Structure 1
Amino acid sequence: MAKVITQATFDDVVKENMVEFEMSAEEAVNDTVEQFQSQGVNLLNIIQDPSLYGSGGEKKELPVISALNSLKSSLSANKEEDILQGLAQLKLECDKDLAVRCTAGNNDAYNTLLQAVEKYKDNLSLLKQTLLSMISLTNGQPDLLDNKGKELFLELLELHSSNPEVLELALLFMRNTCIKHEANRQSFVKLGLIEKLASILKTHRSQANIVMVTCQTLQVLTFDDDIRVLFGQAHEHAKMIVTEGNALKLIIDLCKDFKEKPEVMSELFATISKLVVRNEFCQAVMEMGGIHLILSAFQDSIAKKDIAKQALSVTKALAGNDNVKEAVVQNGGVQVILAAMTKHQANPRIAELGAATLGAIVLRNESNCKRVMELNAHHVLLQAMKIHSQDVNVQRQCCMAIRNLVARTREYCNLFLELGAESLIQDAQRNHKSCQDETKAALRDLGCEVHLEERWKGENKGLAQ
């Protein structure tokens, strides 16, 4: 766990440097930063602006504190124009960086804004500006959310169910407070957020912005990104979204409605890839015509990197089902995947996802291996390894794809070896210590020489590192 300090501690050291060592404000701040960083202190929550210190090291009032105090005064006076101006100024300050947001959060900004939401929930202009300020404040600070806030924002979804602007802002806030915070995710789910999100998708299915932000909120409920929690509920939440919210059918239908909007399709694909956590869910997507729909959209928007990434990601997720693998090949999916990898060959993320998708499609399926090799996938995979030799994820996924292609069909080994696969994989093995298992598996199944190390011999010692 990284060490942290308060703003006051940082300011005291800056003042000491200025008074005791006659440093300028800029020198004092730089020296203080170096001092704390050498001690392993995380300074992301600290404002380090030299212009905020006087000649004697005294700290001037921070702009974010001034904005917050001005807002509090305006709220007390209940002057709408002043409140709007105060909210806009606070948002402007919070948008600067995390340190400013932390300072605002430590000075009761969250409670001030939450009270404003509660007080003005029927005043659209004030409510929308307050929500914008809360979104800025909670960016990177999900811990600020309390039970009162959770209940109030769920109430807003009901109260303004027919207002797309308020819904979008409320959902953006909820998404912010669920990122890297498992407790908030679980609380929202227990309070019925999944059903509300499904209802919003049905009611506002023609509103592109609402569809996108609702999908983003569904996605974040399936994240497992809170390092403070040993076991999260990501899988359970994904299952609930599918079974209780009937989300897969909703999203597949929406894909048909937004075929001409790649940015919306990208979010829909990303959501499907997060939800197909069980074999029967993958099967359900295929039976609803999802494979043909995804591959058609992929082909139509192959020049767009974002949709190419999401289409590859969702295809890989669905290919965990053996029937889906067959459907992808039969619908021309391999051609589209290879075309995307070739068109965007300089993009490491597309190379990684493309290789991973090919590896999933051919796993334990000899007929798929044959089709993939007929389409010269070996050329594309090895070219990706050459171009992205320093990207460990590309190297790992390409090695796995090669291994899956030749593990049961040894007749393809020479096709890889003739193109220099052995030396490329050996280079990856030397350059990337974290993908030793994948490189050794690829070399082994290609029939190449592999040095296997016996890391544990049953003795009372730890594993060799």
Structure 2
Amino acid sequence: MSTQRVTQETFDEVVKENMEEFDMDPEDALREAVEQFVSQGVNLSFIVKAIPTASSDGKQEGKTHEVLHALESLRVGQHSGNMTAELKRFTDQCSLEFPQRYLAAQNGAYPVILSCCRKSLEDQGHLLVTLAALAVLTDGQPDLLDKAGTDLLLSILRRYRADPAVTRAALRTVRHCCLKHEQNRLDLVTAGVLPLMTGAICKHNRCAELVKEASVCLKIMTFDDDVRVPFGRAHEHVRLIVTQHSGLKVIIEAAKAHLDKIPVISELCITLSRLAVRNEFCQDICDLGGLKLLMTLLADSFEAQEVVRQSLCAIRAIAGNDDVKDMVVSAGGVQLMVVAMNVHMSNSNVCEQGCGCLSVLALRKPNNCQVIMDNGGAMAAIQAMKAHPGQVNVQKQACMLMRNLVAHTNNFSQPILQLGAEDLICEALRSYQEDCGDVCRAALRDLGCQVELRELWTGKKGTIAN
């Protein structure tokens, strides 16, 4: 995407010029301005593409965008008492698209909304409205959060910990402020947000929407997605969640309470998989009943693709522990995975996770490989490759599975080749040389097929070309 940008004022001036000097109607003037800037390689993702209007209440002079009218009403009237209607109007405008939120932030919306939040601390209903405005304003703009905002959010979470609605609204803002922002995550964790998240799940275990929001927040605390920092504290945050705040138990118990709610259980499975980063954590999940829960979900939710996919993802994560691999196989996990793939063969995400799960179970486990072969795991992987030739991750995981099946024994090479594996792997190699070339070559090599292995370095001394 182009880095060349223009200001909102420049864009609006061009639209105005098109209308006044070239006698265009508003829609044509707007379209012409957009086409003009795009043709020049200008990035318009921050620009509100609308015609400025006069204030609907007639109290503000001049024409500007509706979100700025709403902001000005808030700024002028924030000391006059109840501003619920104005806050809702502002929230609605910011909810339209990112450019509206960006324009509001560039015009000083954050301190205005933060001030409204402070004034609303004694009024639960009004606080909900102001938190909704703060949450939508920070969506995609985590840099807005400052120390005052961090302190205020923590104060609200502590003060209203018994109120699920306020807690959820505050956590939504926390979520927006932590996504792709390592410093905000670090500041909030240092300030004590983690026990407030796990505590919210425990205290409001039956409140599905709150459990989901808190689970997503915990998940985001395990991300390392801020390109501005060389490395994040994701692993340390996981350690704190698990060892100091009983995160695994909290997530598993919450999942047991929401087995019939697909969006909630899916998020809890994702979060659980994000916490399974250590061998002992994987074992702890099993000891707490997490594996049994995931197997139950997989067995009872074949019609719900998203639950199947996230259950497979979580099982794949905890099966990084070699002892857990055997527990999964002994519990009938292989059969369930193959059935899940066959039922949802048209879904590339399920096929990817299914192949990934079977691949992990087969790694360094010849006995598990036998179970996978006996239950049609290789055939399911072959079918997945045929069904999704355009999905590189499906191709990669299927090749990885076949490689792991034959890495420690040659017994399965011929049966797999008879299923047509060689042609499919070669096709994947040709199509995705960069993304999964090494995996494809390893699979072909271990299957006993002819493959050209690249010699990346011969070890010979040479000269350095200028």
1:442 and 1:25 mapped to 2: Cα distance? 61
Match of residue 79, structure 2, among 76, 79, 86: 76
Mapped partners of 2:35, 2:229: distance in 1: 32
The aligned residue for residue 231 of structure 2 is 231
Deviations 1:379-420, CA, capped at 9 Å, x for gaps: 110110011001111111111111111111211111121111
Q: What SS is found at the alignment partner of 1:293? A: helix
SS of 1:320's equivalent in the other structure is coil
What percentage of residue pairs aligned between the two structures are identical? Answer: 41
Shift in Å at residue 16 of structure 1? 5.1
CA 1:250–1:329 in structure 2 vs 1: closer, same or farther (change >3 Å)? same
The residue correspondences of 1:286-435 to structure 2 (distance < 5 A) are 286-433=286-433, 434-435=435-436
Q: Could you tell me whether the CA contact under 8 Å between 1:180 and 1:225 is conserved in 2?
A: yes
Answer with 18-27 or 101-110: which moved more: 18-27
Judge conservation of contact 2:53–2:65 (CA < 8 Å) in 1. no
Contact 2:309 2:349 (8 Å CA) reproduced: yes
- Change beyond 3 A, Cα 1:455–1:68: same
Kept after mapping to 2: 8 A contact 1:258/1:265: yes
Alignment of 1:95-244 (within 5 A): 95-244=95-244
Q: Are 1:62 and 2:62 counterparts?
A: no
Deviation at 1:38, TM superposition (A): 4.7
| C-alpha distance in 1 between matches for 2:424 and 2:348 | 16
Does the aligned pair in 1 maintain the 2:5–2:43 contact within 8 Å? yes
Does the residue aligned with 1:218 lie in a helix, a strand or coil? helix
CA shift in 2, pair 1:430/1:21, >3 Å: farther
Distance 1:150 1:441 in 2: 50
Measure how far apart 1:460 and its partner are: 5.0
Q: Cα distance, 1:255 vs. partner?
A: 2.8
Alpha-carbon distance, 1:107 to partner? 1.2
- Using the TM superposition, name which of 29-38 and 208-217 deviates more: 29-38
Instruction: Assess, with a 3 A threshold, how the Cα gap between structure 1 residues 22 and 451 changes in structure 2: closer, same or farther.
Output: farther
Equivalent AA in structure 1 for residue 64 of structure 2: E
Structure 1 gaps, min length 5: none
Distance 1:27 1:259, change over 3 A: closer
Q: CA deviation at 1:276?
A: 1.1
Deviation at 1:184, TM superposition (A): 0.6
Amino acid at match of 1:441: A
- Opposite residue 42 of structure 2, the aligned amino acid is V
- Aligned partner of 1:444 in structure 2 is 445
Partner of 2:57: none
1:35 Cα deviation from its structure 2 partner:
4.5
Alignment CA distance shift 1:40-1:283 (3 Å): farther
Q: Assess, with a 3 A threshold, how the Cα gap between structure 1 residues 460 and 344 changes in structure 2: closer, same or farther.
A: farther
| 1:25–1:53 Cα contact (<8 Å) kept | no
CA distance in 2, matches of 1:41, 1:276: 43
SS at match of 1:410: coil
Distance 1:24 1:447, change over 3 A: farther
Aligned to 2:282: 282
Counterpart amino acid of 1:63?
A: E
Listed one character per residue, the Cα deviations across residues 182-204 of structure 1 (whole Å, up to 9, x for unaligned) are 11111100101112222222222
Alpha-carbon distance in 2 for matches of 1:296, 1:110: 46
- 2:394 and 2:4 mapped to 1: Cα distance? 34
Structure 1 distance, partners of 2:256, 2:241, is 20
Paired residues of 2:52 and 2:66 also in contact (CA < 8 A): no
Give me the TM-score of the superposition, normalised by structure 1: 0.92
Query: Who is 2:45 aligned against?
Result: 44
Between the two proteins, the alignment pairs up a number of residues equal to: 454
Deviations, residues 76-103 of structure 1 (Å, cap 9, x unaligned): 322x2xx111111111111110011101
Q: 2-side partners of 1:327 and 1:235: how far apart?
A: 26
Deviates more, 1:90-99 or 1:195-204: 195-204
Q: For 2:453, give the aligned amino acid.
A: L
Considering only aligned residues, what root-mean-square deviation do their CA atoms show, in Å?
2.1
* Map of 1:453 onto structure 2: 454
Whether contact under 8 Å (1:64, 1:104) holds in the other structure is: yes
